[in-house]
Amino acid sequence: MQQAEPIRAVAVEPSAKAARTRAAILAAAEQQFARHGFVATRLEDVAEAVDLKRAALFYHFRDKQSLYDAVVAGAFGSLAARIEEAFSTSEPIASRIERAVEVWIDTVVERPTLARLILRHAAEADEHGKQPMFPAVEHLVGLAWSLFEQGSKTGELEPAVDDAFHAASRVIGATVFYVAALAPLLPSASFKPLSPEQVAAHKRDTLRTVRLLLGIAEPAPARKKAAPRAKKKPR
């Protein structure tokens, strides 16, 4: 009878292990920066969350600033790509803007740390100077401004404001506040801001505000299908 070969341990590629460790560090750091901000976050707390020594972090990130930059780039990268995709379709300008608003709300609701990171970043403006929140922000601002100007010239938009930033501030500010600050300020057990019903209401109200500011017509309400009449039985 042929003997079975001994089971050999499969060595994990150092690069794969390093990638997993780096991902764990970024996830822990995102929570810490969102909770405490850049200034108050300690590298010791990040290391402890992933069961590492503080010195081990420097194998992956040279200092706290580079860790913060990597967290912000990773956290907002997907959001930026999704908004750019919404802006860049061939649909009418109003539809593209509305889709971008929906993407923004959906993404922040799915990942509430984004809202808290924005609040912390704004509160620590002196630390960051004029550094943008994430690398693609200026590109997205340019796309939004281009759509605003184009829609105003063609008549697709009839804005009630002279500057697209007024509309953008309503959308960004309302959702950041709604996701990050409303629950702590209104600690009612009956009101759950992130429940599907409340998120749908926030999205609906935000879209109405955008339409009002940019002169976009409200969509016609969907007609309810009439219930089929019951057939009369022959006498």
Q: What is the pLDDT of residue 9?
A: 44
105 within domain boundaries: yes
Whether residue 203 contacts residue 105, with contact meaning beta carbons closer than 8 Å, is answered with yes
H-only helix segments in 41-92: 43-49, 54-57, 64-87
In total, how many domains does the chain have? 1
Q: What is the DSSP letter of 186?
A: S
223 within domain boundaries: no
* Of the listed ranges 19-23, 50-54, 189-193, 228-232, the one predicted with least confidence: 228-232
Q: Is the pLDDT of residue 85 over 60?
A: yes
The CATH number linked to 176 is 1.10.357.10
124 within domain boundaries: yes
**CB atoms near residue 201 (< 10 Å):** 12
Average pLDDT of the chain to the nearest whole number: 86
The helix (run of H) or strand (run of E) holding residue 89 is none
Whole domain around residue 62: which residue ranges? 18-214
232 within domain boundaries: no
Which tokens go with 227?
Answer: 């219930």
pLDDT band for 232, please (50, 70, 90 cuts): low
140 within domain boundaries: yes
The Cα 12–Cα 30 span in angstroms is 26
226 within domain boundaries: no
Q: What is the pLDDT of residue 182?
A: 85
172 within domain boundaries: yes
Q: What is the pLDDT of residue 223?
A: 59
233 within domain boundaries: no
- Supply the pTM of this predicted model: 0.82
Q: What is the mean pLDDT of residues 63-92?
A: 94
